[in-house]
Chains A and B, each alone.
Chain A
Amino acid sequence: MRRTPRTRHALLLVHILSSVGWFGAVVCFLALAVAGTSSADAQLVRGAYLVMGWSDSVVLVPLAVASLTTGIVQSLTSAWGLLRHYWVVFKLVLTTLATLVLVTYTQTLGHYAGLAASGAPIGQLRAPTVVVHSTAALALLLLTTALAVYKPRGLTPRGHRQRLRSRTTPAVVDPPGATNPGGPS
C-alpha cells in the first residue's frame, strides 16, 4: 500500500497528536487521582472523581483509540510494516492492551463518579485503584514512546522472510528509514 507524502505526513501528524495527547491526558488524570485519594477537601475529592469519570470517556478513550488506529494504519502503509520488526509488534501489543484496559476501566470510573455525584462520604471515594491504573498507564505510554524513538533492532521471522522476498520484488519492502524517516511513532 503506497501513500503520497502529503497523506503520510497527515497520518503521522494525527498519530503523534493523539499519542502525545493521550500521554498528557494520563498525566492530568494521575494528578486528579492523587488529589482524589489524598486531599482532605471533600469538594476537591468529589470534583476530581467527577472529572475523572467524565474525561475517561470524552478524552482518554477517544485519544487511545485514535492513537491505536493511526498507529496501525501508519505501520501497514509504511516500510516498517505491522509485524516485521519486534519493536513495532511490542508497541502494537502494549497499545492494544492499554486501550482495552482503559475501555474496561470506564465502568469502574463511572461507578466512582456516581458515588461522588450522589454525595457519598469521601471515605468511599478514596480508591488507590485510580492511582495504580494511571501510574501503570503512564509507564506503559513512556515505554511505547521510547520504543518509537529508539526503534531497537530486530526483525521478526515474518520480517526476515519478507526481506528475502523483497530481493526479487524490491517494491515490496523498503529499507527502514529510507522512505519513512518518522516511521510509525
Chain B
Amino acid sequence: MTKTLCLANTGRMRDKNRSHGPSNAPGTPAPPMPNWVKASLVIAALVAIVVVVAVLTGGEHGPGRHLGGPSLTDTHPVPVAADSRP
C-alpha cells in the first residue's frame, strides 16, 4: 500500500514537473498564460473598476474612508431607541 502511494506520488510529481516546465530547448518561446490567470485578471480588473467608481461617486467604500481619523463622519445612525443604555 505504502509502495503504491509512493509510486503514485512519484508519478504525480513527474507529471507536475512536466506541466510546469516548458520544452528544454534553448530559445523556446514562453508558454502561453494559463486560462485561470486570464480569468483572474479579468475579475481583478472588474473589482478594481467597481472600487474606483465607488470612490469617485463618493460611495460607501474607498481608501479615503480609512484616512479620515477622528473627523470621520461615515457612521450609520439608527434610531436611538435601539440604545438600551440607561
Contacts and interface: CB of A to CB of B under 8 A. Distances in A.
A133 to B, nearest CB: 9
B1 interface: no
A160 B30 contact: yes
Q: Is the interface of A mostly helix, strand, loop or mixed?
A: helix
Interface residues of A, number: 40
Contacts of B26: 164, 167
Interface in A115-143: 115, 119, 121-129, 132
17 contacts: A40-B82, A86-B33, A86-B34, A86-B36, A90-B37, A107-B69, A111-B68, A111-B70, A122-B82, A122-B83, A122-B85, A123-B79, A126-B76, A127-B76, A128-B60, A160-B31, A175-B20
Interface of B: 13, 16-17, 19-22, 24, 26, 28, 30-31, 33-34, 36-37, 40, 60-61, 63, 65-70, 72, 74-80, 82-85
Given A40-B84, A90-B37, A176-B20, 14 more contacts: A42-B85, A101-B63, A121-B80, A123-B83, A125-B75, A128-B60, A128-B76, A129-B65, A154-B37, A160-B31, A164-B24, A177-B13, A177-B16, A178-B13
Interface of A: 40-42, 85-86, 90, 101, 104-105, 107-108, 110-111, 114-115, 119, 121-129, 132, 152-155, 157, 160-161, 163-164, 167, 175-178
A108 B80 contact: no
A163 B75 contact: no
A115 B65 CA distance: 16
Given A123-B83, A152-B34, A160 B65 contact: no
A132 B79 CA distance: 22
A127 B75 contact: yes
